[in-house]
Each structure stands twice: as C-alpha cells, then as structure tokens.
Amino acid sequence: MADIIQLLPDHVANQIAAGEVVQRPASVVKELLENAIDAKATSITLVIKDAGKTLVQVTDNGVGMSVTDARLSFERHATSKIKSAEDLFNLHTKGFRGEALASIAAIAHVELKTKTEDAEIGTHLTIEGSKVISQDPAVVPKGTTISVKNLFYNIPARRNFLKSNPVETRHIIDEFHRVALAHPSVAFQMLHNGSDVFNLPSSNSRQRIVNIFGSKTNEKLVPVHEETEILKIEGFVLKPEFGKKSRGEQFFFVNDRFIKSPYLHHAVASAYEGLMKNDIHPGYFLFLEVEPHSIDINIHPTKTEIKFDNEHSIYAMLRATVKHSLGQFNIAPVLDFERDKGFDTPYEYSKKSPTAPSIEVDRDFNPFKEKPKQGNISFPFKRDPSIGSGQGSSWESLYVGLKDETAKISSLDDIEFESEEVTGSLFENSEAETGQITFQLQNKYVVSPLKSGMMIVHQNLAHQRILYEELLKNITVKEAVSQQLLFPLQLHFSKPDVEIIEKIREQLEHTGFIFSELKDETIEISGIPVLILESHVVNLLNQLVQDIKEEVPDSGFSQNDMLAKSMAASMAIRTGVSLNREEREHLINQLFACKEPTVSPTNKPVFITLDANDIDKKFM
Ligand code: ADP
Ligand code: MG
C-alpha cells in the first residue's frame, strides 16, 4: 500500500488550533488584552462592533513590535515570552504559547499596526485566513493596534454557532472585567458600536472595583489582607448581607491571572458559614500571589484553571483569612438567622417610617360580571374579580359538589400584603370556613378531590406556569397594563447591569414596566406591571439580570422565553405562603386555563393525581 500520511498545510493546522483558542469573540478579546498587558501598556482601548462579530480591536501604548517581529508574531509557536521548557515554571506573562495571533489570523481578517519606541516608522500588516495580504511601512504612534474583523468568516459553522449579540457581549464584558480588575493601574476603555461602555482611569484595586460595579459597591467591600511565606492574599470580600441567590461577583486572581477554582471557592464559602443562608452565594475579589514555580497553569488550554503544589495549605489559609476579615469588621454578631422570620422587614422598608396599612376595596366588584378586558397577570395577593368566572369551566366539571360561594367573598380580603413572609394566621378565619373542597398541605400544595380520586398541585410551580403564559403573551402579542407609581422608584445597579436592562427595556415595557430614566447606574421606574408589588421590583430585576448573564448556551430558547421564565419565577407565590379558599380555587382554575398546565416553565411536573383505585389498593 502506498504511503498515505502527509503533513497538514500550515493554514489548516492553524485553523484546527484556532478551534481550541478561539471559541467566540470574547476569546479574541481576552488574547488581545493579555498581549497588551504583556507589552507593558499603561492604557488600553477595546473597541467592538456587533458583539465582536464584526470587529474586535485593541489599541495599546505598549512596547510595540519591530518589522520582523510583526511578521513573526502571526506564526504558530512564535513567542517572545519563553525560550525553553524551564521558563514554563517561571512565568511572569499572560501568554507563552505563541498560538493566539496565529490562530486568530487563520479565521478572521486581521490588521496590525505597530511601532516600537525607538523606530522611526511603524508597520502595517494585513492577513486574511493565515495569508499575508500586505505589509507596508506606516506612520503610527508607539504601541500596537490589532483589528480582528469578521471572525469565523471562513468557518460558517462556527459563525452560526455564535449566540445572540447580548450573550456574546456579556462574554466580552466578563473577559474585560477580568483583565481590568487584575490590572487597576492600567487605564482601560471599552466602546461598543461607537458608544462608551467603560472608561476606567488608572487607579487602585478598590476604585477599580467601584468603577466597574457601581458606586454602591464601595460600602459592601470588606478588605482582606494576609501575607505568609507561601502565599499573599489581597482584595475584598462582600459583606454577607450582599450575598446573592445566584453566583454574582466572584473573582479569583492568581499572580494577576483570572482563574476558576471550585476548591478555593469552597474555602471562601466555608468562611461565611453561619453568616449566610445556604442558598446565598458570597461575592469576592481576591488576589493571590504565589511563587510562579509553585503553580502549573498549563493544565487547561484556555488557562482559567491552575494547579497549586500546596493546595491544602492555600485552602486553609484562605479560609482563615476571609473568616478573620469578616470577624474584624464586626459582621458576625449582626446576623442571627435563628430569629423569627415573621419579624423580617423587606430591606428597602427597614429605613422607612411606619405608615398605616392601606386597604384596597374594589367597590365595583361584582362576582357575576365578565372578566374585565385588561391584560392583567393574575396574582393571588391582588384579588382578581374574575375569580370563579368561566375561564376554567372545563376544569370545574372535575369537581364533585362544588358549591358557588363566590358571593361570600368579603372586601376585607382585598388587603394587600407587602411581604411574602406573612404567616398563615391572618387567614385563619376564612380557612375555618366549612364545606371547602380544596385545602393546603404544608403551605406548599393545594389538594383537591377529583371525580376519580384526588389531585395535589404544587402552588409555586402552578403559579409559575400561569404567569409564564401570561407574560409571554404580554411580551409577544398584547401589552399589559401598568400601575403608575405615586413616587417613582429609584434603583441603583452597576453600569453593565443597567445596559442589560436597557437591552430588554422594550419587552419589560410590554409587561407593564415604565422606565422614566435608564442611565449610568440609575434606573427610575414610574410604572410597574399591575400584578406585582413595588417591594418585589428590585429582586425581580436583579434576578432577571442574573438570569440573562447566565443564560444557558444552546438552550435553544428565545430571549423572550427566558424573560418570561425568569419573571414568572420571581413573581410566583412561594411555598410557605398560606392561600385562602378562593385563592386556591383561583389558582387551580387559572392553571387549567393554561395551554400546558401539566409542566412548569422549567419542565417540572405541576401536579400529580392519585386515583381512587390506587387509594383503595392501600386498604387491601
Ligand atoms: P504569546 O502571547 O503566547 O506569546 P501571541 O500569539 O499572543 O503569543 O503573540 C505572539 C507574540 O507577538 C508575543 O509573544 C509578542 O512578542 C508579540 N505581540 C503580540 N501582541 C503584542 C502587542 N500588543 N504588543 C507587542 N507585542 C505583541
Ligand atoms: Mg498572547
């Protein structure tokens, strides 16, 4: 048989290598920013267009490249950063593989302009798909500008695989944050489609965090500091009360390199033990310094994982240091999670002076009238006069002996509850009503007899399903009605979070939000969806932003769908909330008016049924 093995041409090898280095525009951003840092730049500008799909450009004022180096920099395994294998164990630079530029040039249109300090004239080089198109002398300032255009232009499959612009932008901003946080003394600027996203002057670490995440962050930071022979720890942890339900700001840097480490995360989380509820995650910005030879950063191609020689000591030291810092700032005694939940006040209300409770009475209420033609989203705590209306008629036939008791609904039931922590005792009178055909189990399930047996409905999941379908309709087809706020709500978010909200503003407005201002770090809201409480708005928006940031790649769902899911999850009645009779019936009626009553928006079963025959069997 003839020989069949041949060496792959360089451009093919480069394309294959690119698959590992460049997954998305954010990978290009990371490599270019790191190169600029390695070139000792003190000022770096990142410009992107269309979430980096059309352009990623990084300009630095670093050391620049000679004519020969400019050409060589695009060769594979061409690097100025290591010379021998030993150097791998004494790395002081971000890059060392010499692969990034070669990979990027294989799958994009690349343009390089560069000049060193002492050169008279610089170089202008253009490369497309690993082929040098032109190389000319050029008059350029000291430093380097690399423009990467039309990423994956020659690999349509990869290009199609890219996510929506908001998702790709999110990834880019994440990379930008990581590099900018690790190098506070370097000035950074970021522009997207011509407008300023970040403008970060040279500063210290605390200022850098505040400049990125918003001025409110300052008061949340607890400084951390420790220095031993094997490890130096600097940085900040967030006070426990600012922990988040979803993983928010969690940053580890080892020798100025952003890393992910579940092991070190565990060390920090365990330092918060007893200070935070289990499902709340701490925030932190921790900068660790170790001897370069005591780590191996080579175990992961995209270099966000590293291996420490002395993992256990580092774990113990990190945990102790964080614990100590939290203790020093007298945080521990303030919190007592054993206290009666009934005394909890929603955070925004703790500083307000008490006001007399208001009672909303619907004087036009007529239980026999048709449901008003509003885009209302049903929320059991704001009573909807349509209770018992025709909506769920097919469902009602399943009931045995349902008595029409709607006329008994008292206007006192229209009391609005500010906090979902309110316990069931308030409802006791109506609970005591006799003849009800539904009841609640553990403030979590609504149990109802069926002709054929019984049904157990999960109240939270059922309400999520109801809200999800309504919200989706509001976002895509018909707009919902808003309730005007007497005093506009001023909320503070970080700048990037405000941008996320700006991007989904239109959809949010369809659900009933009215934004009177959206800029920098402030959001002013003058109207909210009819059926949510003002005190829930902050949590809802926070959760929404988090969910968008963490949108699962490849989930195949549209952003509208995600939005509806996230809002439904935030707005739905929780488990632990007591429901009175007509709330329970209303919930069930609405559930069975849904298109898909059996599953929650997150694909969990909403109810189960027990057949009378199965029950009979238990007694045999
Ligand atoms: P690595 O960073 O691993 O060395 P790269 O492919 O990213 O590999 O870059 C190759 C080489 O090009 C670098 O080693 C460096 O000498 C040079 N280079 C890249 N970007 C810059 C820049 N912004 N300024 C100066 N030199 C650069
Ligand atoms: Mg590099």
Place 391 in a pLDDT band, splitting at 50, 70 and 90: very low
Asked whether 25 lines ligand 1 (CB < 6 A), one says no
User: How far is the centre of ligand 2, averaged over its atoms, from the C-alpha of 38 (Å)?
Assistant: 8
Rounded to the nearest angstrom, the distance between the alpha carbon of 95 and the centre of ligand 2 is 4
Same domain, 58 and 178: yes
pLDDT, tens only, 331-380 = 443 333 333 333 333 333 333 444 454 444 555 555 455 444 344 444 44
Which pLDDT tens digit goes with each residue over 106-138?
999 999 999 999 999 999 999 999 999 999 999
Q: Which ligand is nearest to the CA of 30?
A: 2
pLDDT over 70 (residue 435) = no
Question: 257 near 182, Cβ under 8 Å?
Answer: yes
Choose the weakest-confidence range: 263-277, 382-396, 438-452, 564-578: 382-396
Tell me whether residue 494 is in a domain: yes
Are residue 218 and residue 196 in the same domain, yes or no?
Answer: no
Whether ligand 1 lies within 6 angstroms of the CB of 144 is answered as yes
Q: Is the CB of 100 under 6 A from ligand 1?
A: yes
Decide: 37 in ligand 1 pocket, CB within 6 A: no
Q: Is the pLDDT of residue 392 over 60?
A: no
Task: State the average pLDDT over residues 536-545.
Answer: 88
Does ligand 1 have an atom closer than 6 angstroms to the CB of 96? yes
Ligand nearest to the CA of 65: 1
Whether 339 maps to a domain, the answer reads no
**Total structural domains in the chain?**
3
My answer on whether 475 and 536 are in the same domain is yes
Q: What is the pLDDT of residue 96?
A: 80
Mean pLDDT of the chain: 80
Q: Are residues 181 and 33 in the same domain?
A: yes
Residue 620 is classified by DSSP as -
* 65 and 192 both lie in a single domain: yes
Last residue of a domain, one of 280, 312, 328: 328
SS3 609: strand
Q: Give the C-alpha separation, 597 to 608, whole Å.
A: 11
Percent of the chain whose predicted confidence (pLDDT) is above 70: 80
Ligand 2 mean position, distance from CA 166 (Å): 26
- The better pLDDT of the pair 140, 76 is held by 140
Judgement on whether residues 168 and 260 belong to the same structural domain of the protein: no
User: Tell me, what CATH number does 293's domain have?
Assistant: 3.30.230.10
Q: Is the CB of 98 under 6 A from ligand 1?
A: yes
How far, in Å, is the centroid of ligand 2 from the Cα of 32? 7
* Ligand 1 pocket residue status of 21, Cβ below 6 Å: no
What is the band of 63 on the pLDDT scale with cuts at 50, 70, 90? very high
Q: Is residue 334 part of a domain?
A: no
Instruction: Say whether pLDDT at 384 is over 70.
Output: no
Q: Is residue 191 part of a domain?
A: yes
What is the C-alpha separation between 607 and 588, in angstroms, rounded?
10
CB 59 within 8 A of CB 144: yes
97 lines ligand 1 (CB under 6 A): yes
CA 98 to ligand 1 center in whole angstroms: 7
Our mutation pick for probing the ligand 1 site, out of 67, 91, 101, counting the most ligand atoms within 8 A of Cβ, is 101
Give me ligand 1 centre to Cα 38, in Å: 8
Has residue 460 got a pLDDT over 50?
yes
Q: Are residues 543 and 577 in the same domain?
A: yes
62 close to ligand 1 (CB < 6 Angstrom): yes
| 220 falls within a domain | yes
252 and 182 assigned to the same domain: no
Ligand 1 pocket mutation, candidates 79, 116, 297, criterion most atoms within 8 A of CB: 79
58 lines ligand 1 (CB under 6 A): no
Ligand 1 nearest-atom number relative to CA 73? 12
How high is the pLDDT of residue 355?
Answer: 46
What are the pLDDT digits (tens) for 206-229? 999 999 998 888 989 999 999 998
Q: Are residues 221 and 186 in the same domain?
A: no
Q: Domain end: 144, 169, 200, which one?
A: 200
Residues 193 and 306 in one domain: no
Residue 333 counted as domain residue: no
Q: How far is CA 345 from CA 339, 341, 354, 418, 485, in A?
A: 12, 9, 11, 9, 21
Q: CB–CB of 481/489 below 8 Å?
A: no
Boundary-marking domain end, from 168, 200, 232 = 200
Predicted confidence at residue 298, as pLDDT, reads 64
Name 448's Cβ contacts closer than 8 Å, sequence gap at least 6: 399, 437, 438, 454, 455, 457, 584, 588
Q: Does residue 86 fall inside a structural domain?
A: yes
Characterise 453 by phi-psi region: left (phi > 0), alpha (psi -120 to 50), beta (else).
left
Cβ 122 under 6 angstroms from ligand 1: no
Domain of 540, in residue numbers: 445-607
What pLDDT is stored for residue 334 in this prediction? 37
Asked whether 44 lines ligand 1 (CB < 6 A), one says: no
Share of the chain above pLDDT 90, in %: 38
135: three-class secondary structure by DSSP: strand
Q: What is the structure's pLDDT at 125? A: 97
Eight-state DSSP code of residue 605: B
Banded pLDDT at 414 (limits 50, 70, 90): very low
User: Who has greater pLDDT, 598 or 125?
Assistant: 125
Distance of CA 48 to the CA centre of its chain: 21
Average pLDDT over residues 182-196: 95
β pairing state of 55-60 and 143-149: antiparallel
93 lines ligand 1 (CB under 6 A): no
Mean pLDDT on 517-531: 87
What's 202's DSSP letter? S
Contact 29, 39 (CB under 8 A): no
| pTM of the shown model | 0.59
- CATH for 566: 3.30.1370.100
Which atom of ligand 1 is found nearest the CA of 94?
A: 2
Gap from CA of 107 to ligand 2 centroid (Å)? 16
pLDDT at 592 over 60: yes
CATH code of 104's domain:
3.30.565.10
Question: Does residue 519 share a domain with residue 470?
Answer: yes
Q: Which of 4-13, 290-299, 375-384 has the lowest mean pLDDT?
A: 375-384
Q: Which of 181, 177, 284 is nearest to 238 (CA)?
A: 284
Q: Is residue 583 part of a domain?
A: yes
| 192 and 274 in a common domain | no
What's residue 154's pLDDT? 92
